[in-house]
Structures are given as structure tokens and as C-alpha cells.
Amino acid sequence: MNMNQIHSVYFLGIGGIGMSALARYFMFLDKNVAGYDKTASPLTLELEEAGVKIHYDDDLSKIEAQFFDKETCLVVYTPAVPKDHTELNYFFDNDFQVKKRSEVLGIATNDTFCLAVAGTHGKTTTSSILAHLLKEAHLPMTAFLGGISEDFGSNFHYQGSEYSVVEADEFDRSFLRLSPNIACITSMDADHLDIYGTGEELHKSFHEFASRIKENGKLFVRKGLPIDGVTYGIEDESDYCAKNINVVDGAYVFDIQTPTVLYKSVTFNKPGRHNLLNALVALAMALETGAKAENLFPALESFKGVQRRFSYRIKNDDFVFIDDYAHHPTEINAVFDAVSEMHPDKKVLAVFQPHLFSRTKDFVDDFAESLSKFESVLLLDIYPAREKPIEGVTSEWLLGKLSNSNKKLVQKSELIDEIKKQNPEVLVMMGAGDIGLEILKVKNSFVNEG
């Protein structure tokens, strides 16, 4: 694919977090960009405000003429688009250049010094920290992120093309399109079993990803994972190790032992040991670029975070409201640990929206165990995303497995009233579906009440 011959780029599923970052990339390259998505969202509305024409019907007549020139138009699609989609099949049947998002990301980053973040959890936060560190170190880099960075106000950032920061997504084996110089693997917990079938197959995919690292490259892995690499961890014998950890005014202050140097009294402001691990490996990767530690440590301290990753929506003495994207039992456990560490002895209410029927079915007992740690739980119905219902797999079924005495299945229309009945000191709302659209409503109900 010769980028110089591409004048127009058409996106099928343009509202996806990774797709919209690529759309911004091509806009930056001054290409004509347009797209389709099933529904409008904050991401599509922002793109429309930036001048991208988007429609929400599977209708070829809505596409402008310039996107029908197969010699100059690239079509990018996400696997979430149904195989019977009229527009997608038209482009395939008429021999357009049609590529998956992951293929295009691989092409866009292949000629850069690529830093790739892989893992079933922690990719977005780690890559966002890494991008922020490289930005503050003034490296010429482009970042493609899987969430909205609070530092950039976007999921895309450009300040040069020598380096790239990307999320290496294991879904649909997308990360096997990348050839990074430096990579990390944060976790390898079983997930996406609708794609892989078994955890063993998922592990094979991570090993294959590791084999794609370029010659003389480096792989960082969280200590304990069944894969070889430079290790990182907390209070252990890893190559990059966080030690002597203290919580001071809601921030972590700690030492970092590297293979060659001990750095003392480093500060990081995001709660949760899982986030501390993310910060540690992001720092290790940034150091590998040659960036100076004295530039990186202030940047680590100033990192603001990622939307919906342990985001404080309200934080005062008598009420705390936290929003998190957690949609896997391991992530829910991490949120619970962070809440317990930062807000000990507080009455905590967890609101959770399960994401995907298949994931709920595959991990129902693990979900029940992780959610049962919270004092009180409100469950919303399962968010289906790309899936059709599976008989017997419901939030009511999951609710019955929770050992909490205070648990309830609620509808979105009842959510605010139910939360206020509980009168929690700490409210945590979790999930990867459209629960994110409820966050502002809940926040406003408390702010207006106050």
C-alpha cells in the first residue's frame, strides 16, 4: 500500500476507539476521511465536528463519490462489522483496497521505532503513560491509544513520526500485524475465548507476538508470566522493581531498582497497584529510547490519567464516585484492591454492567467471586455489543451466584434512585458497555443535590 497514492480513506466502524484514532491520523496526513457506524457516540460526534462525514445507515448512497475511486481510496474496517454488511461487501466485491484496522496500524508504524503495549489488562493506561512520558521528553512520536488520554484530550497524538506508541490488541489476533522494536506484556489472563477457544490458544498468540519483535529489540514482561523477557514487578526480584512504597496524600511515593541504577522517591498519582505496575513498565520502555530519567520522573508525576480508568468523578470528604472500564474479573479485583487501599473502612457500593454474553458465561464464577468482595452490588443487564443472547446467560443468573447479602438487579431508569437508597460513602461504577453514558447522569444527580 503506497500512502502517496491514497487520497481518501473510508472507515467501516469509525466510532471504535482504535478506528477513530486511525481516522485522526489520516486527517492529520491531509487525506479525505469519511465513515459509517451503527450508532452515534461522543467519538463520532467529535469526528463530525472536525469535518468528517459520518452516516449511521448501511447505505451506499450516503457515501460521497470520491470514496468510490478504487485507485485512490483505502477502505478500513473493524471485525465488529457484520459479514453481511452491504457497504463492506460492495468494497470487497469491487476490488477496493480493503484492510482491517490492525493491518493499517501495522503499516503506519512499520517504518517508525515502535513501542507496543500488549496484555489482556492495562494496555490503555500503560500506553497512555508511555505516550505522555515521550511527549514530555520531547521525542518525535505518534501515539495511537485505546482510550481518551486526559493529558491529550484524545486517543491520538502527533508530535513527529520517528517513534510510535501503540496498543497491541490481542482481540482477533490484531497484534500479530505489528513488528515493534520494544514491547511489553502486562498480563495474559484468559479472555476473548469466543475468538481463541482456550486460554492455551491465547497464550500461543502472545508468544507469537513476542516473536515479532524486531532484531535487537526488547520485551518487558510482568514477573510471573509464562514468557521470557525483562521482568518488572513490585517488591520482588524482578529486573525493574518498585520498592519501599508509601501512600502520601493519595499518591504513591516509591523507589525503582533497575538492572543498573536505584532511583529514589519517585511519585505517581494514579491509585491502584495495577496502575503502579503500568507506570513502572511505561517508564522502563521510555528509558530504552534513551530519554533521560530526569525528564521522565516529572512527567510520571504529572500524568493525569485515562478517561474511565479509575477516574474520580466526585471526590470529597463524605462522598467519592469512581468510574472504571473494568469488564474482566481480574480488573474488578484490581479496582477493589485500589479502593480498599485508597479509601479504607468506607462503605462501598459497586455498580457493574457485564460486557458480552460469552465473557459472562466463560467467567461467571470468577465474576461472582470478584463482585462479592464489595459490600453492596447493583447489576445492570448484560451489554451485548457484537453478540446475540445465549440462553440462560443473564445478569440474574450472575446475581444468583454472588455471596453478598446486599445485591440487586436494576434497570438504568432505576439506577440513580437505587444508588441514593444505598447512601454509599464510595460509589464505583464499572463496565465496558454503555454504562459510560450513565456516568454523567449519576454525577449530576449528586452535584445538583449538593
Q: Which of 238, 298, 248 is nearest to 271 (CA)?
A: 248
Tell me: the pLDDT tens digits for 60-80?
999 999 999 999 999 999 988
The pLDDT of residue 120 is 86
Beta bridge partners of 320: 315, 426
Q: Please say if the pLDDT value at position 317 is more than 60.
A: yes
CATH code for the domain of 130: 3.40.1190.10
CB 187 within 8 A of CB 152: no
Strands 348-352 and 426-430: parallel
Q: Please say if the pLDDT value at position 190 is more than 70.
A: no
Q: How confident is the model at residue 131 (pLDDT cuts 50, 70, 90)?
A: very high
Q: How many domains does the chain have?
A: 3
The pLDDT of residue 170 is 76
Same-domain status, 315 and 298: no
Tell me: the pLDDT tens digits for 345-364?
899 999 999 999 999 999 99
Q: List C-alpha distances in Å: 436 to 32, 320, 406.
A: 30, 17, 23
Q: Which of 46, 50, 38, 45 is nearest to 13 (CA)?
A: 38
Q: How confident is the model at residue 183 (pLDDT cuts 50, 70, 90)?
A: very high
In the listed set 247, 279, 302, which residue is the last one of a domain according to the structure? 302
Same-domain status, 177 and 265: yes
**All 3 cell numbers of residue 168?**
497491541
φ/ψ region of 118 (left if φ > 0, alpha if ψ in -120 to 50, else beta) reads: beta
Tell me: the pLDDT tens digits for 369-381?
999 999 999 999 9
CATH code for the domain of 32: 3.40.50.720
Q: Which of 335, 314, 274, 266 is nearest to 294 (CA)?
A: 266
Q: How far apart are CA 229 and CA 220, in angstroms?
A: 5
In the listed set 255, 282, 302, which residue is the last one of a domain according to the structure? 302
Query: What is the edge-to-edge ordering of all strands in the sheet holding 240-248?
Result: 154-158, 141-149, 163-168, 113-118, 182-185, 218-222, 230-234, 240-248, 251-257, 262-268
Mean pLDDT, range 414-440, rounded to an integer: 92
Q: Which residues contact 127 (CB under 8 A, 6 or more apart)?
A: 117, 143, 145, 146, 165, 166, 167, 282
Same-domain status, 379 and 410: yes
CB 85 within 8 A of CB 12: yes
Q: How confident is the model at residue 171 (pLDDT cuts 50, 70, 90)?
A: confident
Residue 45: domain span: 3-100
Beta bridge partners of 351: 378, 429
CB-based burial, 384-402: b 16+ in 10 Å, e otherwise: eeebeeeeebbbeebbeeb
The pLDDT of residue 256 is 97
Tell me: the pLDDT tens digits for 81-95?
888 999 999 999 999
| The model's pTM | 0.84
190 within domain boundaries = yes
